Amino acid sequence: MPADELAAAVAGLKAQAPLWIRVNRTRATPAEVIAALTADGASAESSPLDDHALAVRGLGDPARAPSFRAGLWTVQDLAAQLVGRLVAPAPGERVLDACAGVGGKTTHLAELAPGLIIDAVDPIAAKLALAAAAATRLGLSGITAHVGPLASLPPERRYDRVLVDAPCTGAGVLRRHPEAASRLTRADVDALAATQAALLALAAARVRPGGVLVYAVCTVTAAEGPGQLAAFLAAHPAFVLEPPPLPAAVIDGGAVRTWPHRHDADGFFAARLRRAG
């Protein structure tokens, strides 16, 4: 990033975050959701980066909106939505969400391609229960929850696409959690970078020949982003960095970078890797 842009980047990380929602393309179009929200007294506008990502104003509690309860959309930041598009699943594929959490990206993948077989893995059962509830509300199927570490999956199982939305320092979402800024240390960055590297190594072994591995973190630190990617590629010569199928505005050095001050989105780093066939 140019030095003269740093002040704007810092200010963006401190600014109030907008409300982004994701249109459930299996149930509605962006125009239909915009109309429903307008009827509720809110306003909504599609992002130029993804027409199914809507910036919403004046809504109040999203969970009270009739269109939310009907499963027409869910709350998800624009940057997180771009990660699902980076995975770009095809109908009928087997997909692994290696760090599924509450299922935001898991459900997005299910919306993007019909007939997916998705294994959603997380060590915390309560998070996967929330993911299952979200899938039910959105009318999505094909998702199987696996409570436990990634290594607990059957060792022979391989996937067409694997997503590692890794634990990170969260330095890209400080505008949502400003209290975290005072607690973040270099030791935290180093420890999480080591965790990310271990998860990536485990996930890489699950990718079938010719398959895709996507790494994503909601942070802006070099060690967790470009540094992590460079270290992985050096240690795993079977994988190559693949051009992101996304608008040029979010592509930086062959990977995806989003910033609050540039894109009105959370600060994310993501990379798409292809395993040699």
Convert the pLDDT of each residue in 159-170 to its tens digit: 999 999 999 999
Q: Write down the mean pLDDT value for the chain.
A: 94
pLDDT band for 71, please (50, 70, 90 cuts). very high
- Residues sharing a CB contact under 8 Å with residue 173, sequence separation 6 or more, in sequence order: 17, 77, 218, 266, 267
* DSSP class per residue in 1-50: --GGGHHHHHHHHHSPPPEEEEE-TTT--HHHHHHHHHHTT-EEEEETTE
Residue 218 is a catalytic residue: yes
> Is the pTM higher than 0.75?
yes
| pLDDT at position 6 | 67
Percent of the chain with pLDDT over 90: 86
Q: Around 22, how many Cα atoms within 13 Å sit in the side-chain half-sphere?
A: 26
| Candidates 54, 78, 140, 218; catalytic one | 218
